[in-house]
Chain A
Amino acid sequence: MSQDRQHPAGRPHDGEPHDGIWPGEAEWLRWEPPFEPSADFSDRVLGAMGSDRSTPSDGEAKDDIPQDDITLPRHILDAFEVPEPSPDFVERTFAAVWSDVGGSDHTVDDAAVGPPDEEAWEDRLDAYGVPAPSASFVTRTLAAIQAERGGGERDVQPPRPVRMHVVKSGARSGWAAAAAAAVLVGLGLFWWMSNRNGASDGPNDADLVVQAFVPPAADHSPTLTAIAMARVLDPSEQIAAAPDPLLLLAAGELGR
């Protein structure tokens, strides 16, 4: 590398703009690079880039590259045996191909396909392995347990009692009984007021209400009504058996 290239700034140049500090573009282009890669640089880079290290040095059929003139013994190559296709490979593949390309009338020959290869499934399941515990897992876990026990000797807390849902009793059940009785009295009063002017030809309002809830074939006998009333009025039944609105309505007959 010449001396003026190492110190180009002050070198005069004819016909080129030169500010005395920086060289012109033409002068830049004439310079040799400060260093050049070695001859095998590109080969080494390309060789490191691909998995196929032969590619950059193949030479694309250059004259100096030897041609295919090596013969390997056949018995060595034939030692690389390949398994035969499965008996059902053609049938399975053809079914897949035919359905893929739109063929509609092809059905898989079950006899040709044969039973499923159970061993293949086992192989696939075996391939889905789980990692074994690390060698120090037991040691670390025991150490953690020991540390926790030694940290305070805490008493074992009894399990938290489970709150069971129980039937309310006492004052609350008394209020429920009073409310049911009030409903009953109201219904009876409604029925009595609607019938105090004597029987009419058609059904009155209370009858319509009752008929809407009670099937026509239902027994309207006083016995059923009495049972219903007994259940409603019996405090022991008020919570265990919820008041049946049908029976409550039917009980209105008592006020007749």
Chain B
Amino acid sequence: MPDLDIETILAAQSGDEDASRVILERLQRPVLATIYRFLGTRFRKDAEDIAQDIFLKVFRAIGRFDPERGVKFTTWVYTFVRNHCFDILKKRRLKTTSMSAAGEDGDSWDLPDEGVRQPDAHIVNDELGSAIREALGGLGDDQRMVFVLREYEGLDYASIAQVMGISQGTVKSRLHRAKETLRDRLQPYLRAGA
């Protein structure tokens, strides 16, 4: 996603209404999509309220954003998204299914057993969507956020590292493990696609 131009950001920092609206319109979809994909469907009804809270925080703090520090504005906003979503999970004590537990107990997954059947073509979209949602939900919070930022939002490693507060090497290793897990979980669909 192309970053917002510096003039718009500076204008919003000075309280310009139009510039603020431009920022909001530009970022509404990626912010909502990240919330939705990271928190999962159980937060579907709350996604817009959560996004609104995040934008409130962003605009309260927009005066502190310093373009000279080499951080993209969108990356800065994703930091708010990440922190707010992690806070929500922490407060609601949402328990995510761990991949290692699933590996020990395959019955906890709704995916079809290997070799039993292949996804039918006419229902593959719904089933695939459900499968990828559940597979993502089975990842750990850090892995899931890294994966969503990389694969869905298109952030580069450096930006993800800034959002997550980790090194780029850790970003890569978490991405690798997340994809490894998803590949195992989505094996029937990968074979069908091949």
Contact = CB atoms under 8 A, between A and B. Distances in A.
A89 B100 contact: no
B132 A66 contact: no
B68 interface: no
Interface in A49-93: 50-55, 57-62, 65-73, 75-77, 79-86, 89-90, 92-93
Interface stretch (B73-81, B109-117, B186-194): B186-194
B183 A80 contact: no
Given A79-B128, A80-B133, A68 B176 contact: yes
A54 B142 contact: yes
Contacts of B132: 76-77, 79-80
Nearest to A61: B169
B170 A61 contact: yes
Contacts of A81: 129
> Chain A contact residues (Cβ within 8 angstroms of B): what range?
35 or more
Interface in B142-161: 142-143, 150-152, 157
Contacts of A68: 150, 157, 171-173, 175-176, 179
Given A89-B28, A97-B20, A72 B177 contact: no
B95 to A, nearest CB: 7
Interface stretch (A30-38, A100-108, A174-182): A100-108
Most buried by B among A55, A57, A94: A94
B193 A101 contact: no
A53 B33 contact: no
A47 interface: yes
A98 interface: yes
A120 interface: yes
| Interface of chain B: mostly helix, strand, loop or mixed | helix
B7 interface: no
Nearest to A127: B45
Contact of A61 (B25, B99, B173): B173
A123 interface: yes
Given A72-B183, A85-B28, A92 B52 contact: yes
Interface string B78-121: 00000000000000000110111000000000000000000000
A93 B51 contact: yes
Given A52-B141, A68-B176, A82 B193 contact: no
A84 B168 CA distance: 31
19 contacts: A51-B95, A51-B98, A53-B100, A53-B140, A54-B139, A54-B177, A62-B173, A67-B172, A68-B157, A68-B171, A76-B132, A76-B190, A86-B48, A90-B24, A93-B55, A94-B24, A96-B52, A96-B56, A127-B45
Contact of B182 (A65, A72, A89, A92): A72
A227 B22 CA distance: 86
A58 B32 contact: no
